[in-house]
Amino acid sequence: MDMSIPDLAINGVQVENNGKALGFNHDETFGDYKGTPIIFSGTTQESISLKELVDQLTKKIGEPLHVTSISQRRIKKIGVCTGGGLFGIEEAKKRNCDAYITGDASHTTYHLAMELDIHLISGGHYNTEVLGIKALGEKISKELSIPTTFIDLPTGL
**Residue pLDDT, tens place only, 102-150:** 988 899 999 999 999 999 999 988 888 887 788 788 888 999 999 999 9
Q: 13 falls in which pLDDT band (50, 70, 90)?
A: low
Q: Which CATH superfamily is domain 8-143 in?
A: NIF3 (NGG1p interacting factor 3)-like (3.40.1390.30)
Per-residue confidence (pLDDT) for residue 14, from 0 to 100:
56
**Residue pLDDT, tens place only, 29-62:** 888 887 888 888 989 889 999 999 999 889 888 8
HEC readout, the chain: CCCCCCHHHHHHHHHHHHHHHHCCEEEEEEEEECCEEEEEEEEEEEEECHHHHHHHHHHHHCCCCEEECCCCCCEEEEEEECCCCHHHHHHHHHCCCCEEEECCCCHHHHHHHHHHCCEEEECCHHHHHHHHHHHHHHHHHHHHCCCCCCCCCCCCC
User: Domain locations in the chain?
Assistant: 8-143
Per-residue confidence (pLDDT) for residue 7, from 0 to 100:
54
Q: What is the pTM of this model?
A: 0.85
